[in-house]
Amino acid sequence: MSCGDPHETDCSEVLDHLYEYLDREMPEGDCTKFEEHFGECNPCLEKYGLEQAVKKLVKRCCGHDDVPGDLRSKVLGRIEMIRAGEIRPEAEASRDQACEDPAKASEPEPSKASRASNAAQASNAAQASNAAQASNAAQASKPESEPA
């Protein structure tokens, strides 16, 4: 998004770093540049106002949950490990999935032949069941012979 007017700080830069500004996570000099931009650019000011309102709403509605004491330190520790290049985020995600369901992580993936064999067995069982049901239905519909 851009208003089309030239600014010292480009609209795309402001919008790319809007959350850093909202969360007060950027240097003071950058904050000043953003404030000047908002004074000149109504579309960016509107976007800022909208995101600020959403942030306040989320804080009001969801800000009362207690977070376990060690969770913050674990999350910050992982972020630091990723930033330091000690781990990749993708590796973390796959490790976390394995931790959520250790049985899935240790079970070998069935081979194509095994899956085909299981499918054939299931199909044969279904056919046998259908044939038995048809036979039973045919016998039940036969008129009973009268005694002589």
Residue 97 lies in a domain: yes
Do 17 and 50 lie in a common domain? yes
Which contacts qualify for 144-147: CB closer than 8 Å, 24 or more apart? Answer: none
With a threshold of 0.75, does the pTM exceed it? Answer: no
Residue 75 lies in a domain: yes
Do 53 and 78 lie in a common domain? no
Mean pLDDT, each 10-residue run in order, the chain (148 residues):
78 92 91 92 93 89 77 88 82 57 50 51 51 49 48
Do 48 and 75 lie in a common domain? no
Residue 44 lies in a domain: yes
> How many structural domains is the chain composed of?
2
Q: Are 31 and 21 in contact (CB under 8 A)?
A: yes
Do 18 and 76 lie in a common domain? no
Do 89 and 46 lie in a common domain? no
Q: Amino acid identity of 146?
A: E
Residue 48 lies in a domain: yes
Q: Which domain holds residue 79?
A: 67-103
Q: What is the pLDDT of residue 141?
A: 46
Structure-token pair, residue 9: 């700080």
Positive or negative, the CA dihedral 80, 81, 86, 88 is negative
Q: Over the stretch 51-89, which tens digit does the pLDDT of each residue have?
A: 999 989 888 888 777 778 788 889 889 988 888 888 887
